[in-house]
Each structure stands twice: as structure tokens, then as C-alpha cells.
Amino acid sequence: MRWLRRNLVVIAGVLTLAFLILPNIVVLIFSFNRPKGRFNYAWQEFSTDAWKDPCGVADLCGSLSLSLQIAIWSTIGATVLGTMIAFALARYRFRARGAVSSLIFLPMAMPEVVMAASLLTLFLNMGAQLGFWTILIAHIMFCLSFVVTAVKARVLSMDPRLEEAAKDLYASPLQTFLRVTLPIAAPGIAAGALLAFALSFDDFIITNFNAGSTVTFPMYVWGSAQRGTPVQINVIGTAMFAVAVICVLAGMLIGNRRRKQAL
Amino acid sequence: MTTVTEAPPEPPAEAGKPAARRRPRGRFVPYWLLLPGILWLVVFFALPMLYQASTSVQTGSLTEGYEVTWHFATYWDAIGEYWPQFLRSVQYAGTATVLCLLLGYPLAYLIAFKAGRWRSLVLILVIAPFFTSFLIRTLAWKTILADGGPVVGALNTLHVLDVTSWLGMTEGDRVLATPLAVVCGLTYNFLPFMVLPLYTSLERIDPRLHEAAGDLYARPFTTFRKVTFRLSMPGVVSGTLLTFIPASGDYINSQLLGSTNEKMIGNVIQSQFLTVLDYPTAAALSFILMAAILLIVTFYIRRSGTEDLV
């Protein structure tokens, strides 16, 4: 009983963790299911069919590659624009600073459905053709603020004396930027880019409003929830999960080794 | 000033050029840095809001076109017709936020103080679910909460469903297609947004403060209430905001896990915009939601006294 009381926090925390992980386990298990009927919600029998043929359902892999393309381009766009804003905010004093900060903050404090609906009004008023480009514009818009926040935090925590030292050693401003500033800011930029990629790849609400008849991967999943869910969805979900976890673990291992070497 | 190229933060100047001559050009650097990004946000974020405001006071029809007639009655009609969905959104999002805080706090505490060398692993496990598309994970809850499944069976045996029925969250032996399922989905989907800011603020707390409280004869719970929780307030505030705001506009959980009786305001805006094509009503609803959120957020931030969130 005393043990229980002392470890109450740990038990509660582990239970919450289980609550967070449970759906991923279900997705994994049901990627080996052979469902009866169109929906993959009830367990029938073990099968590896879906793993052998992940693109076996029409349009699934097309939507996946479209989502990847959009995610890559919006990551590049948002990271470049966001990093520039972050440097301006962290390094310079200028007029309208407050207004700029609010403009960065507001998209993060707005329900997605509001941004989605208002952007659609703009596109409809301009008579824009909904599709790849409108999705890309929308994704860069909502990823931008997150990149700014991530990069700004990193730049603000940088020691300005490092750059001064570089200048004292006769580095030109460009050299200082490329050799000193950029490498130090890189983890922040990388974090912002990763965040932008994840946000863009997984976005549904804003995309659904502004995609027209174009179908991204989340929109495919949404549609399949109405028409019937192929097992291949679970395969792709599990594969994404595995790839990401492996990447993160590998990154951590490399980071640890570097830290050990540096000591 | 004629070329709009994306200049690096400090324009390359030839070595040896006196700093004094570089100054006037340097003055515009922040503006050039800001220009493309801010322009993007103005055109694709701020301008659409104005368009939406103007659409909400237009009248007309899809075939004959719309024009601005300052028809504010749209707002009253929209509130009159859809106030139950508004109320429901606030209720569901509020409940999910409270649940996220109750579930997320122990986990954040565990990562910050108890995990030791497992810390990075637990953090990865918190973030990892993000890597599987959230729609797929939300669909998995359909399997977990299926009628007659083990989870529903266990909840029944433990009489949890009796309590939730009494609260009006479930009906009979079902969880799917009830408010409980929607709240569960919302809680699940936004829990990491609560855990991460909580963890960040807990991690900053100096553990010696706990020892000091203990030395001053504070019981563990008193230490938690008077030291730990107080110091984690910034995390609590940003966590609750990061949960409540997206949850209140969400329509995915109510669509996938609820029935027609659990429609939230997001569902209404979505169907008005994409199916019914009644743009003025949809714009008005979306505007009301935005105003309500901004009001709540401003009030909440003022009350909690943490204005340096961003």
C-alpha cells in the first residue's frame, strides 16, 4: 500500500503513456488483418497480404506521394521564410515589431477551421483554381509561425560573443554568417523544418477546404472512413511510424557518440 | 531598393569596407528579411479574414452572386440556429482539456523528475504517435471502443458506464457514437500538446526547491501544491490553450467517433462551406468562433498573468 502511494505518479504517468501508444499498437496489429467486408475495424484472421502489396488499392500511393511532395515543398518554403523572420525578430530592433509578433502568433492561436474557411473565401473571390498550388500556399502559411518560434528560440539563446569573435578574427559578414551563425542556429532550423514537415504531411482540415478535387493522403484516409478502410492504410501508418522512430533513435545515438567524442 | 532578392541576414560587403559606410544599407536589413514571410501571412492569413468578414454580411445566392448588404441578421440567425453546437464545442473541448491536464500532468512529472535515464525514450514515446497520421489513429479508436469489445466490457463491469450514463456522456452499453467517444478522441489527439509544455516548465524547476520545501517540514502534497504546481503554471496555461483552441474547432473526432447528436461547430462550418454552400452563414459562424476564441484566450492569459507565452 505504501509502495502504491509512493509510486502513484509513476503509475499514473505510465497509464497515460499506454493511452497514448495504444492506438499505434492497434494500427500495427490490424495491418495483419484480413477483414470481412469493407471496413477494417474487427479482427478476422492473420494475413500478410497488405504488407506484400502496400499500393494494392487504387489511388492510395498516388495520394501518399502527393502528400510527400507538398510536405517537402512547404517545408522548404516555410523554413526559408520563417528563418528570415526569426533572424529579423531576434537580431534587430525595428518599427512595428509588436504587429509582426502578433501576426506570427495569431495563426497558432486560431482554430484550423477558421483559417481554412477564410482562405477558401479568398480563393473563391479571386477565382483561383483549387488544387496543388492552393494547398501549398495554405501549408506554407500555417507552418511559417511554428518555424519562426523554433528558430527564434535558438537564435536568442546564442552567445553573440561568438560572432564578435569571428569578426575580430577578420571574418567577413558572409563568412561569419555561413561559418558561425548558421551552424549554431542549425538545430533550431532543423527542428522548425521537421515540425513543418510533420504538420504539413498530417494536415487535414485546412487541406480539405482548399484542395478542390485533389486528394492528399489524410484526405484519402478520411474518404476511406466513409467508403471502406483498406488494410493498406494501416500498413502505411505503421511503416511511417517505424521509419520515424528509427530515424529519431539513430539521431540520438549519433548525438550521444558525438557528445562522448567531444568530451 | 529595386531588387527583391532574398538577401542573407547581413549583405556581403567587401572586406575592408569601412563599417560606417555599410550602416545605411544595414538599416533596411530587418525589413528585407521580414518582407517575404510577412507578405505571405498578410495575403494568405490576414486578408482572408477581411474577405470572410465581408462575406458574412453579404446576401444573395450561389447562382445570382453575392453582394455586400451589411446584412448583420445573418449573425443572429446563425447563433439562433447553431447555439447548441457552439455550446457543445465548448463543453467537449473544455472537458477534453481538463482530462488532458489530469492525464498529462503525471506523465510530464514522470518525464521531468522520475524517468532518469529513460527520459529520452519516454519523450520519444510521447512524440512518436505523431508519426502515424492522426486520422488513422483516430480510426483505431473505433476498434478499441467497439460495441461488445474488451474495453467497453471492462468499463461495464467496473460500472464506469453507469456513471457516464448518469452524466449524460453515454447511453446504455455503448461508447461509440456517444459524447464520451468524442471527448475521448479529443483528449487522445491533443494530449501531447498538453504534455510537452508541461514538461518544459517542470524541467526548469530546480529540484533543490523540493528539498528546501521538505526541509521546511512541508508534506509531499503541500510541496507539490505550493511549489511545483505554482512554478509549472506557464506550462499549464500554454498547455490548456494548445489543447482547448484546436479542440474547439475540431470536427474530425465528432465525425468519426460520434453520431449526428455530437456535431460540433466545426462540423457545421465545414458542411455549410463545402456541402450546403451557404457562404454568408458559414463565414459568420467561423467569425463568431474566432471572436469567441480570441476573447477566451485574451481573458485567460490576463487572468493567469503569464503574458510572455510567445
Instruction: Name residues 84-113 of chain A within 8 A of B (Cβ).
Output: 84-85, 87-88, 91-94, 100-101, 103-107, 109-113
Q: Which residues of A touch B41 (CB under 8 A)?
A: 103-104, 107, 141, 144-145
pLDDT for the residue B4: 43
Neighbours of B100 (CB within 10 A): 28
Within-domain flag for B108:
yes
Within-domain flag for B43:
no
pLDDT class of B304 with cuts at 50, 70, 90:
confident
Neighbours of A263 (CB within 10 A): 5
Tell me if chain A has a CB within 8 Å of the CB of B103. yes
Within-domain flag for B2:
no
B96 grid coordinates: 477534453
DSSP helix/strand/coil, B84: helix
Chain A: closest CA distance from residue B168 (Å) = 23
Structural domain including B258 reads 83-304
pLDDT for the residue A1: 74
DSSP for B182-220, written as a single string: HHHHHHHHHHHHHHHHHHHHHHTS-HHHHHHHHHTT--H
Residue B18 has pLDDT above 90, yes or no: no
pTM given for the model: 0.88
Instruction: Name residues 265-304 of chain B within 8 A of A (Cβ).
Output: 266, 269-270, 273-274, 279, 282-283, 286-287, 289-290, 293-294, 297
B166 vs A32, residue with greater confidence: A32
Contact A204 B252 (CB under 8 A): yes
Contact B245 A125 (CB under 8 A): no
Residue B1 has pLDDT above 50, yes or no: no
Backbone φ and ψ of A78, nearest 5°: -65, -35
Taking only the tens place, the pLDDT of each residue in B20-61 is 444 445 678 889 999 999 999 999 999 999 999 988 988 877
The secondary element (H helix, E strand) that includes residue A16 is helix A8-30
What mean pLDDT is predicted for residues B249-267? Answer: 93
pLDDT for the residue B3: 41
Instruction: Name residues 11-40 of chain B within 8 A of A (Cβ).
Output: 11-15, 29-31, 33-34, 36-38, 40
pLDDT for the residue A140: 97
Contact B48 A118 (CB under 8 A): yes
Percent share of chain A, pLDDT over 70? 100
The secondary element (H helix, E strand) that includes residue B61 is strand B58-61
Among B224, B191, B226, B197, residue whose Cα is nearest residue B98: B191
Q: Which residues of B touch A84 (CB under 8 A)?
A: 6, 9, 33-34, 36-37
Which residue in B22, B32, B34 has the most chain A C-beta atoms within 10 A of its own C-beta, making it the best mutation to test that interface?
B34
pLDDT for the residue B12: 45
- What are the residue ranges in chain A where pLDDT is below 50? none
Beta strands in chain A (DSSP E): none
Q: Which residues of B touch A12 (CB under 8 A)?
A: 103, 106-107, 110
Nearest residue, CB atoms, B140 vs list A26, A81, A103: A26
What mean pLDDT is predicted for residues B116-121? Answer: 85
Residue B72 has pLDDT above 50, yes or no: yes
Nearest residue, CB atoms, B37 vs list A85, A209, A240: A85
Within-domain flag for B51:
no
pLDDT for the residue B306: 53
The ipTM value here is 0.90
pLDDT class of B305 with cuts at 50, 70, 90:
low
Tell me if chain B has a CB within 8 Å of the CB of A228. no
Give the residue extent of every domain in chain A: 59-218
Chain B: closest CA distance from residue A144 (Å) = 8
Number of domains making up chain B: 1
- Give the CATH number of the domain where residue B174 resides: 1.10.3720.10
**Cα B208 vs. chain centroid, distance in angstroms?**
33
Q: Which residues of B touch A241 (CB under 8 A)?
A: 128-129, 131-132
In whole angstroms, what is the distance from residue A83 CA to residue A154 CA? 11
Residue B11 has pLDDT above 50, yes or no: no
Q: What's A59-218's CATH class?
A: mainly alpha
Within-domain flag for B191:
yes
